[in-house]
């Protein structure tokens, strides 16, 4: 009888978004023992830009889940292992890595001698198929690195013991299999006294194992960058990863002087007499970390100027009520933010110089004839700024539909990385939190951001008399390298003028 061949296929964390180096596992949809099929979504991960669902390119049964939910994993690291039996089909039966996996067999020997046993048809089928995830191809570097493993001690004793005792009978098979009766006689020989020296002789290969780390230690590019940033020489770091690979934890441990706490040894929360924690530490990662880095870069790169204007927005609030009853907006959400967005588009059309970006490398101002209108959205994972592409060409109902879809998608955590790229100007609606105004920080690469404050009923001079009117405040922050005070003032004044007299949306376009 022929033993059933088992293959274990590793699925690696793919690069799901334009060169990102890591992602956090948010949720597993499968567990150990579950059957999976090619293309089935097995988990959801979050990068610095968005949450993405990952499909697996194998058929088989989940045998191992390497990382739990909430863990941040480097791109290229195996995160789940699938056991695929003979005839499972698809990438699983080939044993070759597809989009994100590198296979490994339960027994190392068959990998070298599978030849005639049935690899031909499977490999022919696998040669026609290569499953590739979004933004992720076959990781050649990972397969090259694995080639160093055969230098381990497991191969030494077998070769040393097999050469003098069974040069002919067992030469073609690395795994014990039914052999002729004549082969059973020499079997005890490797177990006797001669077998002992080969075992001792195989020990020395363990000593040279650290040698590669002296020449060029094994480490992923993000780990090398971390070491460079912290001033750590990789050759001095003791590796704890697979195959002698240096990990992030190794770098952090080497960077912390003795007696100091590492990031993985955070102090226990201080507990008051009543038992409640006085301090809680929350890891900064994913979207929140990316936002923090972007805001710091923007604040200390672009010279910010903020201007304010307070005005009567009563006519716009009345128009919002009328539009909600208009058939053209059936099924669409009409809010004051929609008309603020339209007013900003009108102001940009009247002052096109404001719609630009700064090219630091070439020392040029890049003026744009399109408006990708960003809308800052607060989500459970942090602040994100998706944008409406070519917003200047949309009618008011089209703008309402795009705005509604953008906000809904953001709150559900389904915003794609592409939607958050290429913005030109942004609106942040701080008024929904009851805030009058603020000094918003520019989204990196953009020229201006408009803060829309709360709309409140206040006493206001209208037609020579003090009356209760709806009043709001707008704040416009802009990059003073691109926009001088006069241009910024014109843009802000135009937005306010359109919202004071909404008919200007027609007369000014």
Give catalytic residues, as residue numbers. 480
Whether the Cβ atoms of residue 383 and residue 374 lie closer than 8 Å to each other: no
Strands 304-312 and 465-479, by their bridges, are antiparallel
Q: Which residues contact 273 (CB under 8 A, 6 or more apart)?
A: none
d(CA 422, CA 424): 7
Instruction: At 227, list the tokens.
Output: 């070491």
d(CA 416, CA 205): 49
Whether the Cβ atoms of residue 415 and residue 409 lie closer than 8 Å to each other: yes
Helix and strand element counts for the chain (H, E): 15, 22
d(CA 52, CA 35): 22
Q: Which one, of 465, 469, 443, 467, lies nearest residue 455 by Cα?
A: 469
Q: Which one, of 141, 140, 137, 136, lies nearest residue 17 by Cα?
A: 136
Q: What angle do CA 488, 341, 328 make, to 5 degrees?
A: 155
> How far is Cα of residue 16 from the mean position of the Cα atoms in its chain?
6
Find the helix or strand (DSSP H, E) in which 143 lies: helix 140-146
Instruction: At 403, list the tokens.
Output: 């705005």
d(CA 262, CA 90): 44
d(CA 339, CA 323): 10
Strands 364-367 and 356-359, by their bridges, are antiparallel
d(CA 47, CA 174): 44
Q: Report the SS3 class of residue 109.
A: coil
Instruction: At 173, list the tokens.
Output: 């098979």
Instruction: At 420, list the tokens.
Output: 């958050």
The CA–CA distances, whole Å, from 233 to 212, 214, 217, 230 equal 14, 11, 10, 9
Q: Which residues contact 384 (CB under 8 A, 6 or more apart)?
A: 50, 287, 291, 376, 377, 410, 415, 420
**Phi, psi at residue 11, to the nearest 5°?**
-105, 120
Whether the Cβ atoms of residue 302 and residue 442 lie closer than 8 Å to each other: yes
- Bridge partners, residue 308, by sequence: 475
């Amino acid at each position: 009888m022929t033993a059933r061949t088992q293959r274990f296929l590793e699925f690696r964390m793919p690069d799901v978004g334009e060169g990102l180096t890591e992602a956090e596992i948010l949720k597993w949809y499968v567990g150990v023992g579950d059957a999976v099929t090619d293309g089935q979504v097995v988990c959801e991960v979050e990068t610095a830009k968005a949450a993405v669902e990952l499909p697996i390119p194998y058929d088989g049964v989940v045998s191992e889940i390497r990382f739990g939910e909430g863990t941040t994993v480097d791109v290229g690291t195996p995160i789940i292992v699938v056991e695929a039996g003979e005839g499972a089909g698809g990438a699983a039966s080939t044993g070759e890595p597809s989009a994100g996996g590198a296979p490994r067999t339960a027994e190392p020997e068959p990998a070298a001698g599978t030849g005639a046993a049935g690899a031909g048809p499977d490999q022919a089928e696998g040669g026609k198929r290569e499953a590739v995830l979004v933004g992720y191809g076959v990781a050649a570097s990972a397969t090259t690195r694995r080639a160093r493993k055969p230098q381990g001690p497991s191969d030494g004793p077998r070769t040393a013991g097999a050469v003098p005792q069974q040069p002919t009978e067992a030469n073609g098979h690395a795994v014990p299999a039914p052999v002729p009766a004549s082969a059973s006689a020499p079997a005890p020989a490797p177990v006797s006294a001669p077998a002992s020296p080969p075992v001792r002789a195989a020990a020395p290969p363990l000593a040279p194992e650290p040698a590669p780390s002296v020449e060029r230690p094994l480490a992923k590019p993000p780990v090398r960058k971390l070491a460079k940033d912290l001033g750590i020489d990789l050759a001095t770091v003791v590796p704890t990863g697979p195959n002698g690979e240096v990990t992030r934890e190794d770098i952090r441990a080497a960077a912390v002087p003795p007696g100091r706490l590492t990031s993985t040894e955070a102090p226990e929360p201080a507990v008051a007499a009543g038992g409640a924690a006085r301090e809680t530490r929350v890891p900064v990662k994913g979207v929140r970390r990316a936002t923090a880095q972007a805001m710091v870069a923007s604040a200390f790169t672009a010279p910010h100027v903020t201007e304010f204007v307070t005005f009567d927005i009563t006519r716009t609030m009345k128009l919002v009520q009328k539009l909600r009853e208009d058939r053209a907006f059936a099924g669409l959400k009409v809010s004051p933010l929609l008309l603020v967005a339209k007013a900003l588009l009108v102001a940009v059309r009247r002052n096109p110089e404001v719609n630009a970006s700064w090219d630091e490398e070439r020392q040029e101002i890049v003026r744009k004839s399109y408006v990708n209108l960003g809308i800052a959205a607060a989500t459970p994972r942090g602040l994100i700024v998706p944008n409406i592409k070519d917003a200047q060409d949309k009618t008011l109902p089209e703008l309402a539909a795009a705005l509604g879809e953008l906000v809904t998608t953001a709150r559900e955590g389904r915003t794609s990385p592409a939607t958050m790229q290429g913005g030109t100007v942004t609106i942040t609606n701080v008024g929904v939190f009851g805030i009058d105004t603020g000094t918003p920080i520019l989204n990196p690469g953009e020229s201006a951001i408009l803060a829309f404050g709360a709309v409140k009923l206040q006493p206001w001079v209208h037609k020579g008399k003090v009356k209760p009117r709806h009043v709001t405040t707008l704040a416009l922050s802009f990059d003073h390298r691109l926009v001088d005070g006069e241009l910024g003032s014109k843009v802000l004044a135009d937005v306010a003028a359109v919202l004071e007299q909404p008919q200007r949306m027609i007369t000014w376009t």
